[in-house]
Amino acid sequence: MIPLMKTTFLNEEETRKALAEFILQSSRFSMGTQCSQFEKAFSKFQERDEAILVNSGGSANLALLQSLKNIGRLKDGDKIGFSALTWSTNVMPIIQLGLSPIPIDCDLRTLNVMSGNLEKTLESERLQAVFITNALGFAGDLEKIREICRQRGIILLEDNCESLGTELPSGKAGNFGLAATFSFFVAHHMSSIEGGMVCTDDPELSEMLRIVRANGWDRNLSPSQQAKWRKKFGIRSDFEAKYAFYDLGFNFRPTEITGFLGRYQLQFIEKNIAKREANYKFLASIARDNPNLVELDSAHLSRLSSFAFPVICKTPELKEKYCMRFSKAGVEIRPMIAGNLQRQPFFPKYVKRHFNLPGADFIHDCGFYFGNYPELSQAELKLLGNCLKKD
Ligand SMILES: Cc1ncc(COP(=O)(O)O)c(C=O)c1O
């Protein structure tokens, strides 16, 4: 059996031992120095000024949109474009926060929203923000997308939960918009079991994210930031300030275990990405020669930090055939992320409009993926390669 993932952690045994030792030695488990040190290390890795750690990628998405509402950059009813091929908790926060989700179609050769897809949506929609998903280790032509958003005054946000480490010639995926979110759930590029991050260079946004993450209070702000909020609301004593709540928030705090694991896993990330990319290149070179499969295009990426190996067949019948072939060979497969989000059961309950999304429909009907991770052996890679060949 080749499962979607084999281990919880990179360097599993070593990490488990280090975690056990940390639990035995640590005197504190609620959010503290492990979390703040992981934030510092991650912001350095991602090359962003600020990183705010939360308890999941889904929480990161919700906290980001809530923060943008709190600081007045988004308001009730604003139209938010999102990639039609994404995960549930990319679009659910848009609905939960009273914003209006507008799906943008995806290109089946890159699996992502390309600038052409965005331009087409903009012909008929006035978007306040685009919350794009960099899907499955791939990304769209983010340079052009950034330029379109800049020209039209649209806020660009990236859900980079699946593309940690992917790079374009002008920078890392996750660094093209105002902010980006990340997930450290098991089976992502690195895992802290559960965990998520928001990165940004915007000081007003990062300050609000720290308020939103923890109940709406100011305890995790710098002394000067605290003084500003206390003055603004006439809070005079420390006694009062401890329980003053300044704006809408959640409890999305991570634990020190999240922080410890994040820091620990980060030391293995570069090697992991390199191995995933090498595996991807080997498998893609075989898939490319199979006329039954759509050839994927990553030429615009300078580094593909592969999340999984996507297979898009040319017809639904071929998909059935290849799904059967992989399953019979003992390879675990699954649908492409959550498919065309518009076709998920929850979506029509909240969004009454119907959108024409041929690219996302094609991926939904003809695609599936299997796991790609550093622990795949040569024999397993050979077996996967054989499954990708035309018979
Ligand atoms: C694109 C995308 N966004 C958000 C999430 C949510 O992350 P988490 O599972 O950490 O909540 C995921 C999870 O797989 C994802 O793939």
For residue 261, the Cα-to-chain-centroid distance in whole angstroms is: 18
351 within a domain of the structure (yes/no): yes
Do 136 and 111 form a contact (C-beta atoms < 8 A)? yes
With the most atoms of ligand 1 within 8 angstroms of its CB, the residue from 5, 91, 162 to mutate is 162
Residues within a 6 A CB radius of ligand 1: 56-58, 61, 86-87, 89-90, 133, 159, 161-162, 183, 185, 196
Does residue 179 share a domain with residue 51? yes
- Measure the CA angle with vertex 297, ends 292 and 303; round to 5°: 135
Q: Is residue 5 part of a domain?
A: no
Instruction: State residue 241's pLDDT score.
Output: 97
Boundary of a domain, candidates 222, 244, 266:
266
Q: Are residues 164 and 23 in the same domain?
A: yes
Please tell me the distance between residue 300's alpha carbon and the centre of ligand 1 in angstroms: 24
Which tokens belong to 167? Answer: 């790079």
Q: Do the domain assignments include residue 6?
A: no
DSSP states of 45-92 as a string?
A: HHT-SEEEEES-HHHHHHHHHHHHHHTTSS-TT-EEEEESBS-HHHHH
Claim to verify: residue 120 and residue 237 sit in the same structural domain = yes
Residue 4 lies in a domain: no
Q: The domain that contains 252 carries what CATH number?
A: 3.40.640.10
Contact 132, 140 (CB under 8 A): yes
Tokens representing residue 232 in the block: 């603004």
Domain count within the chain: 2
Residue bearing the CA closest to ligand 1, atom 10: 57
Question: What's the confidence (pLDDT) of residue 391?
Answer: 83
Q: How far apart are CA 89 and CA 158, in angstroms?
A: 13
Mutate to test the pocket of ligand 1, among 132, 183, 184 (most ligand atoms within 8 A of CB): 183
On whether residue 203 sits in a domain, the answer given is yes
Instruction: Specify whether 256 is located in the same domain as 288.
Output: no
144, part of any domain: yes
Strands 129-133 and 100-104, by their bridges, are unpaired
Give the closest residue to 183 by CA, choosing from 164, 206, 158, 166: 164
- Residue 277's nearest CA partner among 307, 310, 299 is 307
Tokens matching residue 140 = 């769209």
Q: Does one domain contain both 136 and 39?
A: yes
Q: How far is the CA of 290 from the centre of ligand 1 (A)?
A: 31
Ligand 1 atom with the shortest distance to the CA of 188: 14
Give the Cα separation of 383 and 190 in Å (integer): 25
Contact 64, 90 (CB under 8 A): no
Last residue of a domain, one of 221, 247, 266: 266
Residues 118 and 228 reside in one and the same domain: yes
User: Which atom of ligand 1 is closest in space to residue 86's alpha carbon?
Assistant: 1
283 and 231 in a single domain? The answer is no
Q: Which residues are CB-contacts of 315 (< 8 A; sequence separation ≥ 6)?
A: 366
For residue 221, being part of any structural domain is answered with yes
226 and 364 share one domain: no
Residues 356 and 383 in one domain: yes
Cβ distance 367 to 287 under 8 Å?
A: no
CA–CA gap between residue 16 and residue 82 (Å, rounded): 37
* Same domain? 164 vs 308: no
Which value, to the nearest 10 degrees, does the dihedral of the CA atoms of residues 292, 308, 89, 266 take?
-160
Best residue among 53, 55, 89, 90 to mutate for probing ligand 1, ranked by most atoms within 8 Å of CB: 89
State the residue range of the domain holding 283: 269-388
**Assigned token pair, 9:** 């952690």
**Domain co-membership, 83 together with 197:** yes
3-state class (DSSP) for residue 301? coil
10-residue averages of pLDDT along the chain (391 residues): 96 97 98 98 98 98 99 98 98 98 98 98 98 98 98 98 98 98 96 98 98 98 98 96 98 98 98 97 98 97 98 98 98 97 98 97 98 96 97 83
- Under DSSP, is residue 199 helix (H, G, I), strand (E, B) or coil? strand
Domain boundary among 251, 266, 281: 266
Nearest to 209 by CA among 45, 37, 73: 73
- CA dist 210 and 230 (Å) reads 15
274 and 261, same domain (yes or no): no
Q: How far is the CA of 188 from the centre of ligand 1 (A)?
A: 9
3 part of a folded domain? no
For residue 287, the domain's CATH number is 3.90.1150.10
